[in-house]
Amino acid sequence: MVRRGVNAGETAHFLMRVAFALFSEDTGLLDRGVVEHLLKRAQVYPERTQQYFAEQFAAMRDGGEFWGTDVRHFNGGLFNTHDALALAPEEINALAAASKLDWAEVEPSNRAANRRTSASISSTRTANPA
């Protein structure tokens, strides 16, 4: 997306939303398959992808319905707006492939990185006492 001239910050925010939606789908916070279905439709109608994601993000922001599924309200600021980006066909295909992975084991925050860093620092201190 950045290669197409999309702002890096906007791209990162959009991809974080998509990753969280995939995580939510695989952990039961969203109905299983809803994101995959969106991406399959996007592969057929790439010009509608931005609209599809905007609708999903709006449902996640407010709670409600998205494509016949009930969506709970997600707070925390990630979905404060429902802005979405248009995607090129190869970007849609990459996300469709990623949607087939198991996102349930992904830590959806920086806590995991912070825990790994803390553990690394702790083990270094233990191994090299002053």
For 35-52, write each residue's pLDDT tens digit: 999 999 999 999 999 999
d(CA 54, CA 43): 16
d(CA 85, CA 26): 23
What's the whole-number average pLDDT of the chain? Answer: 84
pTM greater than 0.95 (yes/no): no
**Helix, strand, coil fractions of the chain, as percent rounded to 5:** 60, 5, 35
- Tokens representing 28 are 């039961």
**pLDDT for residue 130:** 46
**pLDDT for residue 108:** 62
Residue 92 pLDDT > 70: yes
Rounded to a whole number of angstroms, the CA Rg of the chain reads 17
